[in-house]
Structure 1
Amino acid sequence: MNFWEYLSSRRELLFFETWQHASMVFQCVLAALVLGLIIGLAVYRRPGLAGMATGTAGVIFTIPSLALLGLLITPLGLGVAPSVVALTLYSLLPIVRNTIVGLNGVDATLVDAARGIGMSRRAILLRVELPLAWPVILTGVRVSTQLAMGIGAIAAYVSGPGLGEQIFSGLGRLGGANAVNMTLAGTLLIILLALLFDGCYLLIGRLTTSRGIRA
């Protein structure tokens, strides 16, 4: 059968796997955002600790995805758990780094002015520093999401959820019936998801960033 016939005959399965993939990526990036913000907020005023945090996240990021997923099989088994842990770890670096860069990039005169009118350190962080750093942080989230989209396909190696099953199954039976259709369907749907997520982030950025900062 041709590609369009394959899509039509497998539409329920493909929809389910697309939903799984999107859900996994969203949850992992959300977890990485929470962890990344906590780490970034804890270290951005301390250059030594900031370097250690970004360096550690960078080392994790350099571990080949197949190797990390394979290593996680022993403590976590197969399925969702190793997939979620791996994607969350890989998503940390852009968020941690951009949180630190964004917060350190806030104009010191604005912080001094806020302090001069009697704002507490917590109020300055929540009302001045984080809003000004948010566009940079959101850029890190966008990068993390694109990375997680691609790496999420490799989660099929450990029986993880998502569209990776289409790609791995297709590659595993190259030359057989529908092998190319399976691989192509998984790949194109991941690209489509990546574009949809990025469009959502652009909208979120416009809605959550003041006009003065966007200008």
Structure 2
Amino acid sequence: MNFLNYLVSRWDNLLELAIQHAIITAVAVLIATVIGVGLGVATYRTERPRELVIAIASVFLTIPSLALFGLFIPVFGLGATPVVVALVMYALLPIVANTIVGLRGVDPAIVESAQGMGMGRTLRLIRIELPLAWPVILTGMRVSTLITLGIAAIGAYIRGPGLGNDIFRGLARIGSPVALNLVLGGILGVVVLAVLFDLLYVLINRLTTTRGIR
């Protein structure tokens, strides 16, 4: 069976796996965004805590994914939960780093003007600093999404959902006529999701960022 015929015959299965893949990636990035932005906001003003948070998030990103998934099996078992936890860890660094860079890059004169108008620290953060830092934070989310899309496929190793199931199924059948189609179908699905997520971030950026700071 050639690859085109394979896609036509299995499009419904591929679509289901792609939806699972997109959901687990989106959940992980959303959780990582809440944690990462929170850590960035908490540490961007102080050097030692800032360096410590960046260092820890950097260590997470260096851990081989197969090893991390294997370590999580005794704690979380098999399935989606250990995959989400691992993906959150991998997604943290770009979001934390970009939150810190974005907040530290806000013009001090703007912050001082807001302070002179009587705005407290929390109000300045919410009304001035975070909106100005938002495009940089969004870029961190975009990078994290692309990272987690690829790693999520490896989550099939511990029975996680998504396109990795077809990839691993194909690798297990190397030598059979359908093996290459399974692997290529899974890879193509991940690539298509990456393009769609990228377009989504472009749209979010246009809708949520004022023209003056794009």
Which TM-score bucket, shorter chain as reference? Answer: over 0.9
Unaligned runs of 5+ in 1: none
Amino acid in structure 2 at the alignment position of 1:76: F
Q: Does 1:52 align with 2:46?
A: no
Distance 2:105 2:36 in 1: 17
| Structure 2 counterpart of 1:29 | 29
Distance 1:89 1:189 in 2: 23
Distance 1:121 1:88 in 2: 29
| Structure 1 counterpart of 2:15 | 15
| Structure 2 counterpart of 1:90 | 90
Report 1:40-119 matches (<5 A): 40-119=40-119
Distance 1:105 1:47 in 2: 15
- 1:172 deviation in Å? 1.4
Deviations 1:53-112 (A, max 9, x none): 010000111000011000000101111111111111100010001001110111111100
Distance 1:161 1:100 in 2: 33
Q: Give identity over the alignment, percent.
A: 55
- 1:177 deviation in Å? 2.2
Amino acid in structure 2 at the alignment position of 1:181: N
Report 1:149-160 matches (<5 A): 149-160=149-160
Distance 2:145 2:10 in 1: 26
Amino acid in structure 1 at the alignment position of 2:4: W
Three-state SS of the structure 1 residue aligned to 2:162 is coil
Distance 1:199 1:9 in 2: 28
Unaligned runs of 5+ in 2: none
Three-state SS of the structure 2 residue aligned to 1:10 is helix
Q: TM-score, normalised by structure 1?
A: 0.98
Distance 1:72 1:199 in 2: 33
Distance 2:54 2:5 in 1: 47
